Amino acid sequence: MQDLEKAESELDEVRAKCLKCEKCALCKTRTNIVFSGGVPNRKLMLIGEAPGYYEDLKGEPFVGKAGQLLDKIFASVGLDRHKHVYICNTLKCRPPQNRDPLPEEKEACSEYLKAQIDILQPRIILLCGRVAVSSLMDTKLGITKLRGRWFEGPNFSKMMPIFHPSYLLRNDSREKGSPKWLMWQDIKEIKKVYDQLDG
Ligand code: URA
């Protein structure tokens, strides 16, 4: 079996376990579990926060307005979620009213995220927003200070915090130095490193 095929079948096993999960109270309010989206691959993984209203309905990550903006950001450098990015979230179930994940919810869900990272061992991990940052980094710095910088991630990956697209939706300016402009710098840097990866 090819290396990636093996990883996909391991991911399927974790997904099957996750789809029955009742480890925290979110199992009572969810419509669907949102395990992953995009495509399993060894190069690029994006970790978001948690499913929102539309993701919970569809069982797929980043399908609402924030997701549409994320797709545009990827497309601006020739990346396509269906070909190049594995997408997952810190939490696999939607917190009611999209409130911040509780520590016990993050703890309960962490085994699934850890398995996704360990199985795929992506070379680049993007931490999309502060909740994703808090799931993999031990820091008190806010996303504004962290974004755009490379850190060493799990399995010697390159890990970069980036703004969450919902934040960009609330900050419309494209002026130099604005969140959207900074995101544009970050995605160009990410693509540069992506293009240097072999395979
Ligand atoms: N926001 C996230 O962080 N993840 C999603 O899947 C949707 C919105």
Residue 115 amino acid letter: A
Domain extent at residue 143 = 2-196
The pLDDT value given to residue 1: 62
Convert the pLDDT of each residue in 114-173 to its tens digit: 999 999 999 999 999 999 999 999 999 999 999 999 999 999 999 999 999 999 999 999
For 131-145, give one letter per residue: b (16+ CB within 10 A) or e: bbbbbbeeeeeebee
Domain count for the chain, please give it. 1
SS3 content of the chain, % helix, strand, coil (to 5): 50, 10, 40
Cβ pair 45, 119 in contact under 8 A: no
> Which atom of ligand 1 is least distant from the CA of 61?
6
What CATH number does the domain containing 192 carry? 3.40.470.10
Mean pLDDT of 56-70: 98
> Which atom of ligand 1 is least distant from the CA of 66?
8
Whether the per-residue pLDDT at 194 is higher than 80: the answer is yes
Q: Which position has the higher pLDDT, 189 or 199?
A: 189
Pick from 166, 167, 169 the residue to mutate for probing ligand 1's pocket: most ligand atoms within 8 Å of its CB.
166
Beta bridge partners, 46, equal: 87, 126
pTM for this model (two decimals): 0.97
Return the DSSP state at 20.
T
Whether ligand 1 lies within 6 angstroms of the CB of 60 is answered as no
